[in-house]
Amino acid sequence: MHQAVCAMVCDIGTHKGEYQGKPTLRHQAVVIWELDEKKTLGNFAGERFQASKFYTLSLDEKANLRKDLQSWRGQPFTPEELKGFDIEKLIGANCFINVIHEDGKAKITAITPLAKGMPKINATLTKEPDWIGKMRAKSIEMTGGGSNGSSGSSFSSGEAPPQAEDDLPF
């Protein structure tokens, strides 16, 4: 497990996919975390390691985004919280992430709350990675294949948001 902070949430638009053998359209976002560990070699020495995960922007009961957020929070959402949830609330929130390496890629397999009393880290990432722009360029909104209201934007902050009184990260 690695301590991490959500550094950026990037809306990459709507993409074609498949679910249970049927074609689908999915409005997607990428959540990028910075780990509290720094690279020691190469051009990026001294910079924090990063990990990211793609999500369909859905808070349906079976959606991976909802499952991961509830694991991160340490409790399920109430119906009221689901109605008003803003994914930008993730920015600056600390957690632990479990990362495994498969086929040369890092894969986030679990997200859990930061231990009580543990010092938080602040995000330092300020520039959207180039690969995000490339993913967004492939979206239906950018290729002229229709629109579902995607803003195609990224959200980031180097400052942690104020913590709520109930100690939930978001």
Taking the C-alpha atoms of residue 51 and residue 61, their distance in angstroms, rounded to an integer, is: 25
pLDDT score at 145: 73
Stated length of the chain: 170
Taking the C-alpha atoms of residue 124 and residue 120, their distance in angstroms, rounded to an integer, is: 13
Helices (H) and strands (E) in the chain, counts: 4, 6
Please provide the average confidence, as pLDDT, over all residues in the chain: 87
Determine which helix (DSSP H) or strand (DSSP E) holds 38, and give its type and residue range: strand 22-38
pTM of the model: 0.82
pLDDT score at 167: 65
**How much of the chain exceeds pLDDT 70, in percent?**
86
pLDDT score at 11: 96
Is 162 a residue whose pLDDT tops 80?
A: no
CA 124 from chain centre, in angstroms, equals 15
pLDDT in tens, 66-118: 999 999 999 999 999 999 899 999 999 999 999 999 998 989 999 999 999 99
Residues sharing a CB contact under 8 Å with residue 34, sequence separation 6 or more, in sequence order: 4, 5, 7, 48, 49, 50, 121, 123, 124, 125
Is 158 a residue whose pLDDT tops 50?
A: no
pLDDT score at 3: 97
